[in-house]
């Protein structure tokens, strides 16, 4: 008999990251913080997946196969998604910073040192309280 652990109610952190090792590390550390994590390897997988929760935060890698994190964000905003978004990337250009700002996203730079990502997620989730 197989049992599954239900995902707790409350805000969820949705992560889109194509690097399996980083995704597993993010999932582990975010779950240690107490957040339920839903993960996808591509923008297309997220778009084709279950509807997004009413409360939570999106963590999108900028460099994804197919659509970039900012491309995905544009599609989500066009669908009416208002969840806070954090873009994770290495050495973002001025153009990426501008596009993120215009779309209401915060950038957290890789490598994800200290508590930079968890601090950003806490702040994003606090805006929904």
Note the pLDDT tens digit of each residue in 71-97: 999 999 999 999 999 999 999 999 999
Q: How confident is the model at residue 8 (pLDDT cuts 50, 70, 90)?
A: low
In total, the chain counts a number of residues equal to 129
> What is the pLDDT, as a whole number, of residue 10?
74
> What is the pLDDT, as a whole number, of residue 4?
39
Domains and CATH numbers, the chain: 12-126 (3.40.50.2300)
Edge-to-edge strands, sheet with 56-61:
37-40, 12-16, 56-61, 85-89, 105-109
Q: What is the pTM of this model?
A: 0.90
Q: Is 7 exposed, middle or buried (CB count within 10 Å of its CB: 0-12, 13-18, 19+)?
A: exposed
pLDDT single digits (tens) 20-51: 999 999 999 999 999 999 999 999 999 998 88
Cβ partners under 8 Å of residue 11, min gap 6 = 35, 53, 55, 56, 57, 125, 128
* Cα gap 58→76, rounded to integer Å: 10
């Amino acid at each position: 008999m197989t049992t599954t652990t239900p995902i707790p109610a409350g805000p969820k952190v949705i992560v889109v990251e194509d690097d399996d090792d980083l995704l597993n590390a993010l999932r582990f550390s975010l779950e240690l913080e107490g957040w339920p994590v839903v993960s996808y390897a591509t923008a297309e997988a997220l778009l084709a997946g279950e509807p997004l929760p009413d409360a939570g935060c999106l963590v999108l890698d900028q460099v994804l196969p197919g659509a970039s994190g900012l491309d995905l964000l544009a599609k989500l905003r066009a669908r009416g998604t208002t969840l806070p978004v954090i873009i994770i990337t290495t050495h973002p250009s001025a153009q990426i910073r501008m596009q993120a700002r215009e779309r209401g996203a915060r950038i957290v730079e890789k490598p994800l040192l200290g508590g930079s990502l968890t601090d950003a997620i806490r702040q994003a989730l606090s805006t929904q309280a």
